[in-house]
Structure 1
């Protein structure tokens, strides 16, 4: 991740209503490594992660929790999939999870599947693509028995850093509350060249 990731955020960020549409093609201005099947090639490698999450989303409470740790992204299946390993800790405890991301050639979109290692459960998938220099992904989930919309944004991508944001909507996408923000910085001395990573047919540690 996730999942994700400075940090001066209000409890809620109001954005235009979501129409239900997700981007299906990568912008023409992006390099080939950020289009379609190669959309996540830039992320392969190891990152230092600073993460802030809202303790109680959609509750009206504004307590934020801070974490720090690592994110490792490994390619699978000839770059048609990848796996993300998140491991961060803070005063509130530890978050360890994995995200399996799969490319769908028919739609030119990606699906993102996150699992929390603490409970061994996988969340509902997110779907989307990169457009205008950022990744936008939407999905549906429940929070305390309540149906919600979920949005992921991947922005501010550079060779050395990027930003992840998660937001929930309890009103079918009319407004959004940001509840998870992460900023990743590439770990020094570790190459991001996909060709230097293990073969997609090898297992990921």
Structure 2
């Protein structure tokens, strides 16, 4: 239930996001971020707000642990749309978190996959990949490298 305890606190973030999805592109945009994560429900959930200063936008994540199913649901929203996207759901195994869900991209159904890895007390990596073919192939499209902010 406390899988995300490592993430509580303030983080500096280096973002790399694919410029064009599902086009075979290798053109990545890099931009900074600053994130604050707060625990709720004694570790059974958390909220995170990330600021993208060069983009003029923010993101918000809600993570909740389903006690009965013993898995996490991760919800994302951004300040540009104000829409809460469908959740990805999954678990941590051997220090890696894998979370899957259904979504759409430009009106097409896709599968989404979030990966949490390389977790240490002062760093972590998050990656998002999408599949347009039901999960047979995946395209990585956003990578965040987190470094604990010194306060």
- TM-score over 0.5 for the pair: yes
Measured in 2, the distance between the counterparts of 1:41 and 1:133 equals 12
What secondary structure sits across from 2:6 in the alignment? helix
Measured in 2, the distance between the counterparts of 1:163 and 1:94 equals 23
Higher RCO (CA 8 Å, separation ≥ 6 residues):
1
Measured in 2, the distance between the counterparts of 1:186 and 1:96 equals 19
Measured in 1, the distance between the counterparts of 2:124 and 2:74 equals 18
Matched residue, 1:51 = 15
Matched residue, 1:122 = 84
Which runs of 5 or more structure 1 residues have no equivalent in the other structure? 1-36, 190-205
More strand by share: 2
Q: Give deviations 1:63-87, integer Å, cap 9, x for gaps.
A: 2111102111001122211101111
Matched residue, 2:106 = 144
- Residues 1:178 and 2:140 aligned together: yes
Question: How many aligned residue pairs are there?
Answer: 151
What secondary structure sits across from 1:121 in the alignment? coil
Measured in 1, the distance between the counterparts of 2:80 and 2:133 equals 29
Name the larger-Rg structure. 1
TM-score of the aligned structures, taking structure 1 as reference length = 0.71
Matched residue, 2:46 = 82
State the shift of 1:147 in Å.
0.8
Which runs of 5 or more structure 2 residues have no equivalent in the other structure? none
Q: Once structures 1 and 2 are overlaid, which stretch shifts more, 76-85 or 96-105? A: 76-85
- Residues 1:188 and 2:145 aligned together: no
1:26-105 mapped onto 2 (5 Å cutoff): 37-90=1-54, 93-105=55-67
Q: Give deviations 1:117-176, integer Å, cap 9, x for gaps.
A: 111101110100101210100011111111110000000000110100000011111111
Question: Is 1:49–1:88's contact at 8 Å kept on the other side of the alignment?
Answer: no
- Residues 1:107 and 2:81 aligned together: no
Measured in 2, the distance between the counterparts of 1:95 and 1:183 equals 18
